[in-house]
Structure 1
Amino acid sequence: MNKSKVLVCGDVEGKFKTLFSRVENINKKNGPFDMLLCVGNFFGTNGSGLEQYKNGILTVPVPTYILGPNSPNLVDLYSDINGCEICPNINYLGKRGVYTGTSGLKIAYVSGVESESGKSDYTFTNSDVESVRNICSKGNHKFQGVDILITSLWPKDITNGQKCQVHPEGSWLLSWLAVQVKPRYHFTGLQNVYFERSPYRNFSATGDTAEHSTRFIALAKVGNPDKQKWLYAVNIEPIDQMKTSELYQATTDLTECPYSNRMLLPMTSGKQERSAQFFYDMNSPVDGENDRKRRRKDDHQHRRKQPPNFDQESCWFCLASAAVEKHLVISIGTEAYLALAKGGIVPDHVLILPVGHHQSLSDLPEQVEEEINKYPKHDYKKNRKTYCSALKKFFKKQRKVPVYFERNYKTSHLQIQVVPVPYELASRLKQAFQDSAEEDDMQLDELPPHTKLSQIAPPRTPYFYVELPSGEKFFHRVRKSFPLQFGREVLASENILDMPDRADWKDCSITKEEEAKLAKHFRSEFQPYDFTL
């Protein structure tokens, strides 16, 4: 598997030491990373701050690629507006194009802000985005999309149906480009906020084939005082090397494409239809009535800005749902069940889940909470068998101890993640979680014994919760954003399981046959401890 480890940062604005010191630490701890991509404004008001990197006193730890100027006063800081070396290990990509890494990773990029009046050194026009589309797909009948799209400006309508601190005007041209090149990740800056949109499904050109999803992520300014996330890591396999089943794999928070389906149409080469807010040949055959209905629906969703509702019919984890992957199920009780984790960090990574549709530990009906925490074979007051205690005994035989954690953020169904670690590593866990939380500017609070989550997290409160083998419990109240793979990143880190490439479940996918084989083995080994039998 030929994967690339990529870091992406928001507007640097001249804070080079802050950026590269952080990158160096992360690269030593979780690297090596193949590259760093910078979106937004790389320079401050002038080019000062790079002298020590240019003369070799300080070094740039990772090959770094930046975008061009977004205002006229920054143009002179680029020796060649079409692309150049800024200093050793820092390269300006150019105004627009596609960069292909040694692994085959395809990165499309557009520098500057959108122009309505014509070309300049800090703007892009319709011909620029059309050029990028053509480089990607023209004459390539097997084109599926690019891996990453980086722009400084946001695309128009990307916040439709989503909660976000800002709703910038955005660029129609970049919306069109995103629809055309179908990036798996789209990164932007300039607004000084961290915003990770729920992944959206790309349009199919024919309307009858599956398409992969896109994750849009906006990053804040480097070293911002609000401590919003400004550095993002992704471990990604080139799209051209992926199995179709992996590429089209959906998530429970998948949403409709925020852009109009008119973005599928080609651009006109002449005067653009700006009055209609599109840049296309209006004579092309499109179902106008369906398009109007779609726009009305999108506008309605934008006004409401509410998260999608989930039910047992569509939820991946409700046991009665047709969507649940039953080959992963290990044990079934009355109110809760045990299943092998999809894309687990280790082969015996499992989940404890409620049978019905419940979102979090902090908001469970009493009978469900009782079974998850105190489920008995007969009378729980006499026989305090639980999934947790059964797993603890099961792993003890292997000289391992379980770590339990829950992320009630961008999820719809309670999933208690259970990851065993070797007994001798248990003493490192507390410090590992605290260090990672500090690195991500998170407050991780230790809870007093016997504290119930419902006491500190009212219904619909987003949070992260972890219980260590020592019995110590930690809680983080999510207020703005949260690194989705935080729990996995800590456990997969070099100091614990030393499997940094398994921090994201999507990077750990195996075939259904392999999953079924692992589940069968776990089911057989767990049987002596299974209180539901």
Structure 2
Amino acid sequence: MNKVKVLVCGDVEGKFQTLFSRVENINKGHGVFDLLLCVGNFFGDTDEGLEPYRNGKLTVPIPTYILGPCSAVQVALYPHISGCELCPNLTYLGKRGLFTSSSGLKLAYVSGIEAESDTLSHHTFTDKDIESVKNACLRGQTNFRGVDILITSSWPKDIMLGDKGCSVQIEPNGSWLLSWLAAQVKPHYHFSGQEGVYFERAPYRNHSFSGSTPEHATRFIALAKVGNTLKHKWLYAFSLAPIDQMSTTHLYQETTDQTDCPYTGKMLHPSLSMKQVRPSQFFYDMDSLTDEGNQRKKARKDNKQQHKRQPPKFDQESCWFCLASATVEKHLVISVGSESYLALAKGGMVPDHVLILPVGHHQSLSTLPDAVEEEIEKYPLRTSALKKYFKKQHKVPVFFERNYKTSHLQIQTVPIPHNMAGRLKRVFQENAEQDGLQLDELPHHTKLSQVAPPRTPYFYVELPSGDKLYHRVANNFPLQFGREVLASEELLDMADRADWRDCKATKEKETELAKAFRCAFEPFDFTL
């Protein structure tokens, strides 16, 4: 069992030479470490101090990974907010996600601070970001033990509870969402910065969701600012073996200072029940176009007074997906029929990820008029245009629809290599089980309208085998579930593309991709 040597530092705040000189000295005295993780603010007011490392005058001594901005003013210092290499050996991980090192360590990360409003920002995170990280960590893991390391800019809320030896005299701005995430992904180590102090909590036992299985302990460590004048510890060195390679005896071995889990109540609930952030509405975004805010509050109040809330009304001028709407991004459109059209998915998982949509305004597959349904079926049937098109590339399409927090039908169409088709059904069912969802198998001849009356929220997937899987949504449902399953390690193995927000491209690039697909698809297009 090979151990990985890791260094972690607190807020760098532009003191790059102080940090990297110390790392070089440690390497000389203790042998070369495998990687360096930086939590908190990496840049100061500018990024000028990084220029010698960019032009090669100075070098970053070991592979170094950093988190993103914690304030709006620092956003501009990151050239690609979704993650990028800043210079040789220095990588910005991105806003949030799961990274697996070459040595097998699984590193979950969340940049920035918890959002105080529904406004999306590059320096904040929301419940959707946190759910995405949790799903990336658990996806495809039938016997999930936990992640090796969790790094977050902010502290988790209530982390000091139950630690009788705590001597830190501050009240950290802890994040409830990070506490929930830590409870779900059970990191072996959790590191944070931002508060300017060094704090190493006594190891705490992770909560057992099954109530019977043993759980390993998590060590939470907060680090001070690099080169601080108070001489507080800002660099932490340790070695560990990947958690999946550890023996059960070693993993569950207790220490004399071990405490109970500091997280309680809803922090331990397997799903978040917080309000959902409403992102912008484009082809890639299936969230409701009218997440009405105050109007919904009023509707709930009216319901209590036994007044029936009326469903929202939409028109083609206000819908992002009705083809007659001025807001449709027509550079993404591939093919247009009488009742339906094909468009490139914005923020697609793969370059040929497309959407099938009705031209007019229709909510879901289960409520389509016969004429619209008949034409839309020309796209997905086994002998249809898309299947013929993908077959020539040795791929098969997976079709899925989420009729939950949506307003206009979108059939997501994602091609996968042909040799993966046989495992699709099992992977979908296993991932549904991990999320506490029930995927029912529908008979091949069954229409959705038979099982989903109007206004019924659901998730539906049609597999290349012809199998149809259906989940009726009762409470919360992971909005990116279909993408997350396909992005799992057993299928496309691209966890970093499970969320459309990580996959955005420029309009020029989108136009180029749409043109390429349109040309390649032309021989199969039944509308021509």
Q: TM-score, normalization: structure 2?
A: 0.52
In structure 2, the partner of 1:52 is none
Deviations 1:372-426 (Å, cap 9, x if unpaired)?
1258xxxxxxxxx969710000011111111111011111000001111111111
Q: Structure 1 residue 80 and structure 2 residue 174: aligned? A: no
Q: How does 1:345-356 map to 2 (within 5 A)?
A: 345-356=349-360
Measure, in 1, the Cα distance between the counterparts of 2:333 and 2:511: 9
Measure, in 2, the Cα distance between the counterparts of 1:504 and 1:342: 11
In structure 2, the partner of 1:400 is 395
CA RMSD of aligned residues (A): 4.3
Report how far residue 470 of structure 1 moved: 0.8
Q: Is the 8 A contact 2:378 2:385 kept in 1?
A: no
Q: Structure 1 residue 337 and structure 2 residue 341: aligned? A: yes
Q: Which amino acid aligns with 1:195?
A: S
Match of 1:313 among 317, 323, 327: 317
Per the alignment, do residues 457 and 330 of structure 1 end up closer, same or farther by CA in structure 2, a change over 3 Å counting?
same
Deviations 1:82-129 (Å, cap 9, x if unpaired)?
269x998346889xx699xxxxxxxxxxxxxxxxxxxxxxxxxxxxxx
Measure, in 2, the Cα distance between the counterparts of 1:298 and 1:401: 41
Measure, in 2, the Cα distance between the counterparts of 1:400 and 1:515: 22
In structure 1, the partner of 2:56 is none
Match of 1:89 among 173, 181, 189: 189
Q: Which amino acid aligns with 1:82?
A: I
Q: Structure 1 residue 303 and structure 2 residue 301: aligned? A: yes
1:519 aligned counterpart, secondary structure: helix
Measure, in 2, the Cα distance between the counterparts of 1:397 and 1:92: 49
In structure 1, the partner of 2:46 is none
Q: Is the 8 A contact 1:400 1:423 kept in 2?
A: yes
In structure 2, the partner of 1:520 is 515
In structure 1, the partner of 2:150 is 63
Q: Is the 8 A contact 1:200 1:254 kept in 2?
A: no
Q: Which amino acid aligns with 2:492?
A: L
Q: Structure 1 residue 199 and structure 2 residue 235: aligned? A: no
Per the alignment, do residues 298 and 498 of structure 1 end up closer, same or farther by CA in structure 2, a change over 3 Å counting?
closer
Per the alignment, do residues 489 and 29 of structure 1 end up closer, same or farther by CA in structure 2, a change over 3 Å counting?
farther
* Number of residue-to-residue matches in the alignment: 316
Report how far residue 427 of structure 1 moved: 1.4
Measure, in 1, the Cα distance between the counterparts of 2:496 and 2:105: 9
In structure 1, the partner of 2:451 is 456
Q: Which amino acid aligns with 1:33?
A: A
Q: How does 1:155-170 map to 2 (within 5 A)?
A: none
Per the alignment, do residues 490 and 348 of structure 1 end up closer, same or farther by CA in structure 2, a change over 3 Å counting?
same
In structure 2, the partner of 1:368 is 372
Report how far residue 32 of structure 1 moved: 3.1
Report how far residue 371 of structure 1 moved: 1.2
Per the alignment, do residues 388 and 364 of structure 1 end up closer, same or farther by CA in structure 2, a change over 3 Å counting?
farther
1:495 aligned counterpart, secondary structure: coil
Measure, in 2, the Cα distance between the counterparts of 1:427 and 1:387: 16
Report how far residue 253 of structure 1 moved: 3.3
Per the alignment, do residues 530 and 503 of structure 1 end up closer, same or farther by CA in structure 2, a change over 3 Å counting?
same
In structure 2, the partner of 1:183 is none
Report how far residue 34 of structure 1 moved: 2.2
In structure 2, the partner of 1:491 is 486
Q: Which amino acid aligns with 1:62?
A: I
Match of 1:470 among 453, 465, 469: 465
Q: Is the 8 A contact 2:378 2:384 kept in 1?
A: no
Q: Is the 8 A contact 1:403 1:468 kept in 2?
A: yes
Q: Which amino acid aligns with 2:330?
A: K
In structure 2, the partner of 1:227 is none
Report how far residue 445 of structure 1 moved: 1.1
Q: Is the 8 A contact 1:29 1:494 kept in 2?
A: no
Match of 1:441 among 436, 444, 461: 436
Deviations 1:143-168 (Å, cap 9, x if unpaired)?
xxxxxxxxxxxxxxxxxxxxxxxxxx
Q: Which amino acid aligns with 2:149?
A: V
Per the alignment, do residues 34 and 255 of structure 1 end up closer, same or farther by CA in structure 2, a change over 3 Å counting?
same
Q: How does 1:207-286 map to 2 (within 5 A)?
A: 252-253=288-289, 255=291
1:437 aligned counterpart, secondary structure: helix
Measure, in 2, the Cα distance between the counterparts of 1:496 and 1:29: 19
Measure, in 1, the Cα distance between the counterparts of 2:455 and 2:423: 32
1:4 aligned counterpart, secondary structure: coil
Report how far residue 300 of structure 1 moved: 3.6
Per the alignment, do residues 252 and 516 of structure 1 end up closer, same or farther by CA in structure 2, a change over 3 Å counting?
farther
Measure, in 1, the Cα distance between the counterparts of 2:449 and 2:376: 15
Q: Is the 8 A contact 1:493 1:499 kept in 2?
A: yes
In structure 1, the partner of 2:86 is none
Measure, in 1, the Cα distance between the counterparts of 2:150 and 2:360: 48
Deviations 1:297-326 (Å, cap 9, x if unpaired)?
786455247675432111111001111111
Deviations 1:438-457 (Å, cap 9, x if unpaired)?
11111111111201111111
In structure 1, the partner of 2:475 is 480
Q: Which amino acid aligns with 1:61?
A: D
Q: Which amino acid aligns with 1:475?
A: Y
Comparing 521-530 and 386-395, the one that deviates more: 386-395
Per the alignment, do residues 197 and 309 of structure 1 end up closer, same or farther by CA in structure 2, a change over 3 Å counting?
farther
Per the alignment, do residues 495 and 315 of structure 1 end up closer, same or farther by CA in structure 2, a change over 3 Å counting?
same
In structure 1, the partner of 2:362 is 358
Q: Is the 8 A contact 1:24 1:61 kept in 2?
A: no
Give me the identity figure in percent.
54
Q: TM-score, normalization: structure 1?
A: 0.51
Q: Is the 8 A contact 2:286 2:406 kept in 1?
A: no
Measure, in 1, the Cα distance between the counterparts of 2:475 and 2:503: 28
Q: Which amino acid aligns with 1:4?
A: G
1:515 aligned counterpart, secondary structure: helix
Q: Is the 8 A contact 1:372 1:386 kept in 2?
A: no
2:107 aligned counterpart, secondary structure: coil
Measure, in 1, the Cα distance between the counterparts of 2:108 and 2:385: 40
Per the alignment, do residues 388 and 318 of structure 1 end up closer, same or farther by CA in structure 2, a change over 3 Å counting?
farther
Instruction: List gaps (5 residues or longer) in structure 1.
Output: 8-22, 40-57, 100-187, 202-211, 214-244, 259-296, 376-384
Q: Which amino acid aligns with 1:449?
A: H
Measure, in 2, the Cα distance between the counterparts of 1:409 and 1:359: 10
